Amino acid sequence: MNDTIAVISTSLGVGAISIIRVSGADSIKAVNNIFKKTDLTLVQSHTIHYGHIYDGEEIIDEVLVSVMRSPKTFTMEDIVEINCHGGINTTNKVLALILSNGARLAEPGEFSKRAFLNGRIDLVEAEGIMDLINAKTDVMRKLALNQVGGNVSKLIGNLRNEIRDILINIDVNIDYPEYEDILVITKEMIATNIKKIKSQTLHILRESENSKIIKEGIKTVIIGRPNVGKSSVLNRLIDEDKAIVTNIPGTTRDIVEGSVNIDGIILNVIDTAGIRETTDFVEQLGVNKSINMIDDSNLVILVLNNNESIAKEDLELLRKIKHNKRIIFINKDDLETNIKEELLKDETIVYGNTISDNGLNALTEKIKELFNIDQIATNDYTYLSNARQIGILASVLELIKDIEESLKNEIPIDIIAIDIKKIWELLGEIIGENYNEELIDELFKQFCLGK
């Protein structure tokens, strides 16, 4: 890791300015070799210098160079940043010169990886940086910023400290049973502490669901029999004629996706093939796909045709989605009603049509209600938002449940301590305290080049 890396950090394309970043022990030397005006090896840290980049005797560009010495830098190594003119040729030429002066091309995420490995940021903060770069809405940005700023790490760190305290107490009891004044850890005390930690974990997991929704959006799948108007509903929701609409049942065969921003939350809407028995092989594949989409979604919109009575297939679909968050959209309310609402007891129903757009606002409002979007948008953002972090915390919850069982079953404390220790390690994994090298490599590869 001691070699010097360089990369273009701005987006690749024509722009007014491009920034080339160099990090590592030889970064100042490498740039100084091709820079004329000031000797960069002698300048103070965190200063900016005007001058020219040279290839031998030829001037390549007029630039501003920032010199930042270790350790007060993003990677904690010496960093040099060159602001050059943004043409593709100029930028590549300057980068090539740095590369032939002792640096190598950085891999995606390598700067952040160094910041992590050198202890400048933890894993949650690193993931926050990636989210900040990818944020598409205000709420996504706020969520990411809380990770970058360390608030989320603190939340996990505090939980971890509580676990550590239990472990210390158990160890003291095991190692020095003869000291009477040392708090004697009883199972009841462990039980009380574990209960507290369980409720905190549950709370974080619950709130993190919202954060996940902020980050990943609400995956919404539109299902229903053929010709009820699913594709029309998709098109109206996303305000774009994306899916083909015809009066021929079985028009949509493959899935069609679009997205819409509802008060900062992205609704990813998926239109599917109308579900029916069919002998058409291609259509059948589409129908299977529609059914598979159900399990993988956060919300199902079942579309019915107001003009037709509820069919056996509709009821079957309703049964299939009974464990999903769902809304029944009764479309074509411009036509005469033939729906018997008694068959839809306890369902959230919205009537509308895609000709005058009646009911579409009501549909959006129902979605907002169902996911508490108003509340999410004004919430505290200090929760986990990333699948890796949430997955680990879910394992922590499983271990807590195991510990509760063990406590009930009179398992000896030193055995229970093994599970408590595992929780401590898992929480460490979230912030990257104990990490697996392969995972770290994979994770940082997902970063963009230059970050």
- Interface pick for Mg ion out of 83, 252, 305, 385 (rule CB under 5 A): 252
Q: Where are the beta strands (DSSP E) in 143-291?
A: 218-224, 256-262, 265-271
List Cα–Cα distances, 166 to 204, 364, 404, 410, 438, in angstroms. Answer: 20, 47, 15, 18, 31
Q: Rank residues 231 and 268 by Cβ distance to Mg ion and give the closer one.
A: 231
The one-letter code for the residue type at 208 is S
- Residues of this chain that bind ligand GTP (CB under 6 A): 224, 226-232, 245-247, 249-252, 273-274, 331-332, 334-335, 353-355
| H-helix segments, 311-433 | 312-320, 360-370, 373-377, 387-408, 413-431
SS3 of 278, please? coil
Would you list the DSSP string of 130-162? HHHHH--SHHHHHHHHHHHTTHHHHHHHHHHHH
Nearer to ligand GTP, 329 or 424 (CB): 329
Q: Which residue is nearest to ligand GTP (CB)?
A: 274
Kindly state the smallest distance separating residue 81's Cβ from ligand GTP, in Å: 52
Task: Tell me 35's DSSP state.
Answer: E
Which pair of tokens denotes residue 307?
A: 């003009």
Does residue 354 touch Mg ion according to CB under 5 A? no
Residue closer to ligand GTP (CB basis): 330 or 443: 330
Helix, strand, or coil (residue 31): helix
Comparing CA positions, the residue from 327, 335, 325 lying closest to residue 358 is 335
Q: For the CB of residue 251, give the shortest distance to ligand GTP in the complex, in Å.
A: 4
- Helix axis angle, 437-445 relative to 110-117, nearest 10°? 140
Nearer to Mg ion, 173 or 252 (CB): 252
d(CA 244, CA 239): 14
Instruction: Please report how close the Cβ of residue 271 comes to Mg ion at its closest, in angstroms.
Output: 6
Residue window 229-248: x/- pattern of binding to Mg ion, with contact defined by CB under 5 A = -xx-----------------
Residues numbered 177 to 236 that lie near Mg ion (CB under 5 A) are 230-231
Q: Which does 226 bind (CB under 5 to 8 A by kind): ligand GTP, Mg ion, none?
A: ligand GTP
List the single partner that 334 binds among ligand GTP, Mg ion, none, CB under 5 to 8 Å by kind.
ligand GTP
Compare residues 28 and 273 and give the one whose CB is closer to Mg ion. Answer: 273
Characterize 342-377 residue by residue with b for buried, 16 or more Cβ atoms within 10 angstroms of its Cβ, and e for exposed.
eebeeeebbbbbbeeeebbeebbebbbeebebeebb
Min dist CB 402 to ligand GTP, Å, is: 47
| Minimum CB–partner distance for residue 355 and Mg ion (Å) | 16
Nearer to ligand GTP, 193 or 307 (CB): 307
Question: Which residue, 118 or 251, has its beta carbon nearer to ligand GTP?
Answer: 251
* Residue 335 binding result from Mg ion, ligand GTP, none, given CB thresholds of 5 to 8 Å by partner type: ligand GTP
Residues that bind Mg ion (CB under 5 A): 230-231, 251-252
